[in-house]
């Protein structure tokens, strides 16, 4: 634990701006003296007390509720003092300044500062202390931020499940099974003359297979949880006047992008986040792809290609009313070739044929038989539901079961590492001359990867990255 983790900390724990209630939170050791100075009396543990908050002269800054949570029965595992006042920015700043001032004042009994090291909390430091003091594990700590940042109801419910320990419980079950298997292999290393019979009699192969099956189930749920948290980035690309801005407006249900018959109206990216079945979709409208001598439009086209290169899915928009024009088809073919060169193979490409309400036929031409093609009308909305379903399908989303928990990309990557090590272990079990030391190492590495999810094994750098993204006061 770093030295700064021993310092008492204080912060405004509610969002900036005006509100009915604002909270100033203090966490540290032996906060009773500070509570006495601020409230003019001692506080009963875990009991809300309505009283005035006092300045250095004993005059009231405000009146509100004070709560004192002695260690270890608090959010952080330390003593925690919460002052719930009126939510004006000036009032809360006065309370914050008073906390720092009172901490530096000499205690009447000890004749020394009450809390000489009291300082402003860094982002996420209260939750970081809850993790360091064993109140929550790392996956639950991340779920706190995910619950605050949830952009859909499904994401909020899933984050709540992770906060209650759903993901951690699954990881613990995997860890227990892995430890059991490691124990068998390590024991066999001590008795090499019985290695094959011992591993057979304890069904090591069966245990490994059951572990891999359970891991696959957890990975499936975790990937769904990562989708709920991260969403998918969908870029609309195509020639000018194909209806890209109209499609964005139709998906968003609002007039976000300017729509005119003039080619090249969209000069820069326009982004909107929508949700489909609780999954956030970050939809980006881009400038029409073509050769242009207009400097501003060329910059917009360059930014369009930048967005395409980082997309999770690309909608290649075509105009059905111009589908039979040789020049239009040639321009589409040029974009198709450019997409093939620039778009990573893992990114799905969906052909969307717009203006089906105006075209002589609503059936799109088949450009690539191995990818989805949808005909729709951004003006009437016909075909939008089919597009939404296709986007969820290519993203890998399945109808969300009640038990899905929020997850992060790092959780998915850690489980993939576990899967790779278990596959290597399975291959070693099939080797003619069983290398027990290598088998034991693969299982150890699998457990290390698993431990990074809950923080049983984490570097200080990883913790710094995670908690720095929290808001101050949490």
Q: Which domains does the chain have, with CATH numbers?
A: 3-136 (3.30.1360.120), 148-226+408-455 (1.20.120.430), 231-395 (3.40.50.300)
Q: What does the alpha-carbon distance between residue 26 and residue 35 come to, in Å, rounded to a whole number?
A: 10
Q: φ and ψ at 89, to 5 degrees?
A: -60, -40
Does the pLDDT at position 414 exceed 90? yes
The pLDDT of residue 257 is: 43
Q: What does the alpha-carbon distance between residue 281 and residue 106 come to, in Å, rounded to a whole number?
A: 56
Q: Is 270 helix (H, G, I), strand (E, B) or coil?
A: strand
Task: Say if residues 403 and 221 touch (Cβ distance below 8 Å).
Answer: yes
Does the pLDDT at position 214 exceed 90? yes
The pLDDT of residue 183 is: 82
Give the CA dihedral 384, 385, 387, 389, nearest 10 degrees.
170
The pLDDT of residue 464 is: 65
Q: What does the alpha-carbon distance between residue 354 and residue 374 come to, in Å, rounded to a whole number?
A: 9
Nearest to residue 149, comparing CAs of 273, 301, 17? 273
Task: Say if residues 316 and 335 touch (Cβ distance below 8 Å).
Answer: yes
Joined tokens for residue 469:
């993204």
Q: In DSSP terms, which residues pair with 270 in a beta bridge?
A: 285
Cβ neighbourhood burial of 144 (10 Å; 0-12, 13-18, 19+): buried
The pLDDT of residue 151 is: 79
Task: State the pLDDT confidence band at 156, using cuts at 50, 70 and 90.
Answer: confident
Q: Diameter of the chain by CA atoms? A: 92
Does the pLDDT at position 184 exceed 60? yes
Joined tokens for residue 6:
């021993």
What tens digit of pLDDT does each residue of 64-120 get? 999 999 999 999 999 999 999 999 999 999 999 999 999 998 876 666 778 888 999
**Which range (151-160, 165-174, 362-371) has the least confidence?**
362-371
Q: What does the alpha-carbon distance between residue 160 and residue 225 come to, in Å, rounded to a whole number?
A: 12
Q: Is 10 helix (H, G, I), strand (E, B) or coil?
A: strand
Look at the alpha carbons of 322, 323, 324, 327 in this order and tell me if their dihedral is positive or negative.
Answer: positive
Q: What does the alpha-carbon distance between residue 377 and residue 383 come to, in Å, rounded to a whole number?
A: 7
Does the pLDDT at position 34 exceed 90? yes
What tens digit of pLDDT does each residue of 310-365 get? 888 999 999 888 888 899 889 888 888 988 888 888 888 999 999 888 876 655 55
> What does the pLDDT average to over 40-63?
95
The pLDDT of residue 73 is: 95
The pLDDT of residue 74 is: 95
Name the pairing type of β-strands 349-354 and 313-319. parallel
**Which range (164-168, 225-229, 403-407) has the least confidence?**
403-407
Q: Rounded to two decimals, what is the model's pTM?
A: 0.77
What tens digit of pLDDT does each residue of 247-294 get? 888 887 755 544 444 444 444 567 888 888 888 888 888 877 777 767
Q: What does the alpha-carbon distance between residue 347 and residue 340 come to, in Å, rounded to a whole number?
A: 11
The pLDDT of residue 417 is: 95
């Amino acid at each position: 634990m770093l030295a700064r983790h021993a310092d008492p900390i204080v912060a405004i724990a509610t969002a900036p701006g005006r509100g009915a209630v604002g909270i100033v939170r203090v966490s540290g050791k032996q906060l009773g003296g500070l509570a006495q100075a601020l409230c003019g009396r001692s506080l009963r543990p875990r009991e809300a007390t309505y009283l005035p908050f006092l300045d250095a002269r004993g005059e009231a800054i405000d009146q509100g509720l004070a709560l004192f949570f002695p260690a270890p029965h608090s959010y952080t595992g330390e003593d925690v003092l919460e002052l719930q006042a009126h939510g004006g920015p000036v009032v809360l700043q006065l309370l914050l300044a008073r906390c720092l001032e009172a901490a530096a004042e000499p205690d009447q009994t000890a004749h020394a500062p009450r809390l000489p090291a009291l300082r402003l909390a860094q982002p996420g430091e209260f939750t970081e202390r809850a993790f360091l003091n064993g109140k929550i594990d790392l996956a639950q700590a991340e779920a706190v931020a995910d619950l605050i940042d949830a952009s859909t109801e499904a994401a909020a419910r899933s984050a709540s499940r992770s906060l209650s320990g759903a993901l951690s419980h699954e990881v613990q079950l995997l860890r227990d099974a892995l430890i059991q298997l490691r124990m068998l292999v390590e024991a066999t290393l001590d008795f090499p003359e019985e290695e094959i019979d011992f591993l057979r009699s304890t069904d090591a192969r069966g245990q490994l297979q059951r572990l891999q099956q359970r891991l696959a189930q957890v990975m499936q749920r975790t990937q769904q949880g990562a989708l709920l948290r991260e969403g998918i980035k969908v870029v609309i690309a195509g020639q000018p006047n194909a209806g890209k801005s109209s499609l964005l407006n139709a998906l968003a249900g609002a007039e976000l992008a300017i729509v005119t018959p003039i080619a090249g109206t969209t000069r820069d990216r326009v982004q909107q986040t929508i949700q489909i079945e609780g999954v956030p979709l970050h939809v980006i409208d881009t400038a029409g792809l073509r050769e242009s001598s207009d400097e501003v439009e060329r910059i917009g086209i360059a930014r369009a290609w930048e967005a395409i290169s980082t997309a999770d899915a690309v909608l290649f928009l075509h105009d059905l009313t111009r589908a039979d024009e040789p020049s239009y088809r040639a321009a589409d073919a040029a974009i198709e070739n450019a997409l093939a060169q620039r778009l990573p193979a893992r990114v799905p490409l969906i052909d969307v044929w717009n203006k089906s309400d105006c075209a002589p036929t609503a059936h799109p031409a088949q450009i690539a038989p191995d990818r989805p093609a949808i005909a729709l009308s951004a003006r009437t909305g016909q075909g939008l539901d089919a597009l939404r379903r296709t986007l969820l399908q290519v993203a890998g989303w399945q109808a969300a079961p009640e038990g899905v928990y929020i997850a992060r990309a790092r959780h998915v990557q850690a489980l993939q590492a576990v899967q790779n090590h278990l596959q290597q272990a399975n291959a070693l079990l099939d080797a003619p001359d069983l290398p027990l030391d290598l088998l034991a190492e693969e299982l150890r590495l699998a457990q290390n990867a698993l431990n990074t999810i809950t923080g049983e094994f984490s570097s200080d750098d990883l913790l710094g990255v995670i908690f720095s993204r929290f808001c101050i006061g949490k």
